[in-house]
Structure 1
Amino acid sequence: MGKQSRKRQKTSKEDVQPLGSSTVVDDADKDDEERQLESMLFGVPYVPSQKSDGKRRADDADVVVISDVEDGATERHLKELENMLDSDLFFIDDGAGSSSIKAPALDEGASEHDENESGADIAIEEEPLPHEPETVDDTAITESDPDDSNIQVSLTSHTRLRKLRDAPAEDTVGGREYERRLRRQYEQINPTPEWATKARKKSHPKRQRSTSGSEPEVEVDVEDIIPDLLASTGGISGGKKPKTLSPGIISVDRLRDANQAAPAEGEIKSLQFHPSPQIPILLTASTDRRLRLFHVDGLTNPHAQTLHIPSLPLTNAMFHPSGSSILLTGPRPFYYTYDLQSGTSHLWTSCAFNPTGDVLAIAGRRGHIHLVDWRSGAAQVVAGLKANAGIRSLWWSRSDRSGPGALLSLTEDAQVYVWDVGQRKCVKRWQDEGGFGSRLMGGDQGGKYLAIGSNIGLVNMYSADSALSLDVPKLKPLKTLGNLTTNISCLSYNHDAQLLAMASSVKKDQMRLVHLPSLTVFGNWPTTSTPLGHVTAMDFSTGSEYLAIGNNRGRVLLYQLRDYTGQ
């Protein structure tokens, strides 16, 4: 095919003037108003019309230019307006027939030009609605839209609005009343903090108004709080001692998962917060043979580090009491330690630390307990203990009467051995009441409580002092908690021994929170809708601000305890 020639576009020979050029087109049909508008929009010079004589017909404020081509009706209308007052020319339209808004009239001696030049806004005074008192409190609305009084809102039109009703039969309210009830509902859900209320009252002497309208206003002089705040080194909401928890109800908030930045690919076997309150680090050990460290801030919880150990299936991981290293154990005749400062790991042949971290007790086979000297750094076994049955659980006590700490071991036959580590002998042995397949033992940091969990979900609570005392040969539990029905797999205390978390990994959502002073279970949390799953590990943060819960799906749920955060 032959090449087709392109068609050239025809261009006009007329000169095209760009916008803003200096060329002025004087169109006789344009009036002065159109010329002024064209000058403002396009930037062309303004040239007045030659046919207008510029008659001035206005007062001191305005100048009106009238063209000769206008008819005589306009001139007669302007003459009528000259004899009218300014207050009759202008009014404020609020959209209602009878308005409660009054506009003050301008003084006869002052012109509109003077008012506009001053830049002052028109003050609108509003009369209070019949249902509102004459005086309102400090939280009342000072500025609002006048049209709000004409709005009618149906409180039964939407499910969320029904809670704003004062009576079941109430339906429609005005705009102002609707706004007032929304503010009331917000303040009920989000009350003003106590420190803010006190600071507001003491900020400066002010007039307290009565909301009833019947009591007179009273002048109350209070001292300024600013010098007190400047003289204090603590925060506004700080400096308070942790309050004693009340039984029955606890305030818990769900936060973003602690390991959301790096989820595990298997079941969470162990988790623990760093023992130092200045280091908000959480470790997690999972069945994918990985140890992960997270910086817990309650918001994003960033991932800090991952340690992969292919040769050791992790079943337990714990911080050294000093927080300098991590002990990793599993179903192998060896274990790892990871130095947090140097970032190196060590493997030793051949699990609870004593309170000082100097001695590590390892449960061996057939009732043997190996004592490892941790101070030497060579993992040397310095002594051994022997029970009559296999060891189920170990726990070190912090009791002063036992020196650096006594070692307690729970055996398969539900026997509790109290060991004197210095003398390498058992000083006391007692039977767990019931003997329902005892499998887990744990006590709090202060050495006040001792809990023993069984295979059928029962948890016996003992006094730790009675468990160690040689004067009490047979122990009776303080209480037996039967809130769970399957074998206990997790026991965790908070830092001040007011809370105990107990859980079972056999069934879904088998976890309870115990109020230790009253030995009762909190009834409001967790609920049936709390997505716990099969709980496999738990731990409280150093100050009990957070509770971390690991499950078999590799998630670490994070909850905030309001009673320990001051919220």
Structure 2
Amino acid sequence: MSDSENESIQDLLECAEEYENLMREKLKTENKSNENKHNAASSNKNTTISDDTQELPMEKVIFGDREGLLENLAVAVGESKKIIDEKKAGAASEDDDLKDSRKRKPAWTDADDTDITLGEVKRPTRFSGPHNHLRQDKSYKEYLTARYVRTVPQPKWAELDNKKVSEDAEDEALLQTVGFVAKPDTNTLRQTHLEFKRLKDLNRATYAEGSISSIQFIPKSTATLVTGTSGIATIYSIDGVKNEKLHNIRFDKFPIMCARLKPCGTKAIFGSTKRIYYVYDLLSAQEMRYKLPEEVTTLRNFRISPCGRYMAVAGRFGNMHVFDAFSQELIHTFKQNDDVASMCFTADSKNIICSSLSSKINIFSLTKQRLAHSFIDDGCLKGSAMDLSLDQRLLATGSMEGVVNVYDFQKLQLSTTPKPEKTFLNLRTGISDVKFNHTAEILAMSSVEVDSAVKLAHFPSATVFSNFPRKDDMGKIRVVEFSPNSAYLALGSTSKKVSLMRLKHYKYY
């Protein structure tokens, strides 16, 4: 017991003694005046009770005697300390158990994983150069885990603690009233300056595809399908350092002019100038060969709907054929006056937007199987490229005159001569490809007629990034493609290489 507790107990005992003395004196005076009454009452009882015990029954009930009071106080103080210590220990153990239960436990652990260091695995080569920037004594497992987390985000359903931390309302009101400068929002993309890094070429392992015809990022893995006119399709892993080749597919006497992945990401369709095409299963590595109907001669230009059910194919004499992507049967043929230049599906897979080798753009309805709307592309004489943003808000069109128009997709369906929201004249030659990223914040546009002719535009400000591209030899760019979360930008050229850019604003693949 502490000194303060002993002092409090001594004070309590002194008060008890004073109270006891006062009560005895008072009772003695009362006993003398009523002595006769007390004697008569005591004679009738079999037992005699002393004055002290008769006078202090309540006192002993409340306080007890001196020794008992001290013992009770000591026991009470000790038990209270014991209870407090037990509560603290119990709370600490509950917190530890909660933390342990919320941690993911591996199915098994391999002791060799912790023993392997980075210096034993990462050896300098003539391609990578020295590894002075890496810690040689670091665990190789930690290195791989950090790279994987940086590339592939954790899904929301797998987060153990997904509580949203809300800002303090009082602090927010204070900042609004006293005139503090708010911090810039790091989630929005800057308008004039784009932070990016040029990485190793995506197909640096082989350069075997020939003139690049298509680039398809596999949505469920950090891999990319690259095809070219040499008849070779290759799957590369993306890490920005090695970009190793995972698998390649060779088709004899079959120059691949267009390749598309199905939305599931497990099957790819390859088209060419031949009257046949291939469907390849990426999981089982099996290919299936199909013959085109008589009215369809080639599969040079086609698109797959977001639902994966339809496949739109550009035919001859302004025909656009719609196939069933599962049974490979011809469903319907739409007719327009001029040949098809480019096409894309809406998000609900109910409409096909088709640009022609003229100034007219048509919107066909798959449910009604007829022309739903038609309009004139402003300033266009011969269309060449087109893309619709994922949010169905913006439609970008490119022409052979080097003009790129951006329309509000909802407004253009109300007029036959809509005015574009923005017109880009930065490229002086024919547009080969236009592409929105997944948030519609960036529009990429390229021209295959001039070396390194590519520009990126910011939205909604509709300004072109002044620092892109740098003076790098990227060749004549035919195809541009963003990764699913816009962390990477691939630029396919006619000179057999695919330039790879890392957009630092976007964290995940």
Correspondence 1:431 to 2:373: no
1: CA distance, partners of 2:241 / 2:193 = 25
- Per-residue CA shift, 1:28-80, capped at 9, x if unaligned? xxxxxxxxxxxxxxxxxxxxxxxxxxxxxxxxxxxxxxxxxxxxxxxxxxxxx
2: CA distance, partners of 1:231 / 1:495 = 27
- Per-residue CA shift, 1:176-219, capped at 9, x if unaligned? xxxxxxxxxxxxxxxxxxxxxxxxxxxxxxxxxxxxxxxxxxxx
Task: State the match for 1:534 in structure 2.
Answer: 476
Measured after TM superposition, the shift of residue 487 of structure 1 is 0.5
Task: State the match for 1:312 in structure 2.
Answer: 254
1: CA distance, partners of 2:449 / 2:338 = 25
- Per-residue CA shift, 1:406-454, capped at 9, x if unaligned? 1111112221111111111001111111223212111122211111111
Correspondence 1:300 to 2:242: yes
Measured after TM superposition, the shift of residue 267 of structure 1 is 1.4
- Per-residue CA shift, 1:280-322, capped at 9, x if unaligned? 1111111211000001122221101111111321111111111
Q: 1:334 aligns with which of 276, 283, 300?
A: 276
Q: 2:405 aligns with which of 444, 460, 465?
A: 460
Q: Which structure has the higher relative contact order (CA within 8 Å, separation 6+)?
A: 2
Measured after TM superposition, the shift of residue 558 of structure 1 is 1.2
Amino acid at match of 1:396: F
Q: Which runs of 5+ in 1 are unaligned?
A: 1-229, 235-240
> 2:317 aligns to what SS in structure 1?
helix
Preserved contact between residue 368 and residue 387 of structure 1 (Cα < 8 Å): yes
2: CA distance, partners of 1:305 / 1:362 = 27
Correspondence 1:374 to 2:325: yes
Measured after TM superposition, the shift of residue 242 of structure 1 is 7.5
Amino acid at match of 2:192: G
Task: State the match for 1:269 in structure 2.
Answer: 213
Measured after TM superposition, the shift of residue 333 of structure 1 is 2.3
2: CA distance, partners of 1:392 / 1:231 = 49
Task: State the match for 1:472 in structure 2.
Answer: 415
Preserved contact between residue 366 and residue 390 of structure 1 (Cα < 8 Å): yes
Inter-CA distance 231–405: structure 2 relative to 1 (3 Å threshold): closer
Correspondence 1:485 to 2:434: no
Q: Which runs of 5+ in 2 are unaligned?
A: 1-158, 164-184, 293-301
Cα-Cα RMSD = 2.1
2: CA distance, partners of 1:242 / 1:545 = 16
Preserved contact between residue 385 and residue 425 of structure 1 (Cα < 8 Å): yes
Measured after TM superposition, the shift of residue 233 of structure 1 is 7.3
Task: State the match for 1:411 in structure 2.
Answer: 356
Q: 2:201 aligns with which of 253, 257, 266?
A: 257
Measured after TM superposition, the shift of residue 337 of structure 1 is 1.3
2: CA distance, partners of 1:313 / 1:429 = 34
Residue identity over aligned pairs, in percent, reads 28
Measured after TM superposition, the shift of residue 386 of structure 1 is 1.1
Query: Once superposed, which parts of structure 1, at least 4 consecutive aligned residues long, lie more than 6 Å away?
Result: none
Task: State the match for 1:160 in structure 2.
Answer: none
Amino acid at match of 1:560: R
2: CA distance, partners of 1:509 / 1:439 = 19
Correspondence 1:495 to 2:441: no
Q: 1:506 aligns with which of 449, 456, 460?
A: 449
> 1:365 aligns to what SS in structure 2?
coil
Q: Normalising to structure 1: TM-score of the pair? A: 0.54
Q: 2:313 aligns with which of 356, 362, 370?
A: 362
Task: State the match for 1:396 in structure 2.
Answer: 345
Preserved contact between residue 409 and residue 417 of structure 1 (Cα < 8 Å): yes
Q: Normalising to structure 2: TM-score of the pair? A: 0.60
> 2:379 aligns to what SS in structure 1?
coil
> 2:255 aligns to what SS in structure 1?
coil
> 1:563 aligns to what SS in structure 2?
coil
Amino acid at match of 1:373: D
Measured after TM superposition, the shift of residue 340 of structure 1 is 1.1
Task: State the match for 1:352 in structure 2.
Answer: 303
- Per-residue CA shift, 1:464-509, capped at 9, x if unaligned? 2223x3x333311111100001101121221111011111111111
Matched residues, number = 321
Task: State the match for 1:74 in structure 2.
Answer: none
Alignment of 1:213-252 (within 5 A): 243-252=187-196
Preserved contact between residue 242 and residue 564 of structure 1 (Cα < 8 Å): no
> 2:438 aligns to what SS in structure 1?
coil
Amino acid at match of 1:382: I
2: CA distance, partners of 1:530 / 1:405 = 42
1: CA distance, partners of 2:287 / 2:253 = 13
Amino acid at match of 1:252: F
Preserved contact between residue 231 and residue 256 of structure 2 (Cα < 8 Å): yes
Alignment of 1:14-29 (within 5 A): none
Measured after TM superposition, the shift of residue 231 of structure 1 is 8.5
Preserved contact between residue 355 and residue 405 of structure 1 (Cα < 8 Å): no
Measured after TM superposition, the shift of residue 363 of structure 1 is 1.1
1: CA distance, partners of 2:289 / 2:278 = 5
2: CA distance, partners of 1:518 / 1:244 = 12
Amino acid at match of 1:347: R
- Per-residue CA shift, 1:342-398, capped at 9, x if unaligned? 21111222211111010111111111111111133xx11121111122111111112
Measured after TM superposition, the shift of residue 265 of structure 1 is 5.4
1: CA distance, partners of 2:316 / 2:186 = 44
> 1:394 aligns to what SS in structure 2?
strand
> 2:505 aligns to what SS in structure 1?
helix
- Per-residue CA shift, 1:501-539, capped at 9, x if unaligned? 111111111111111211111001112x22222112221
Q: 2:395 aligns with which of 450, 453, 473?
A: 450
Q: 1:545 aligns with which of 487, 490, 494?
A: 487
Greater helix content: 2
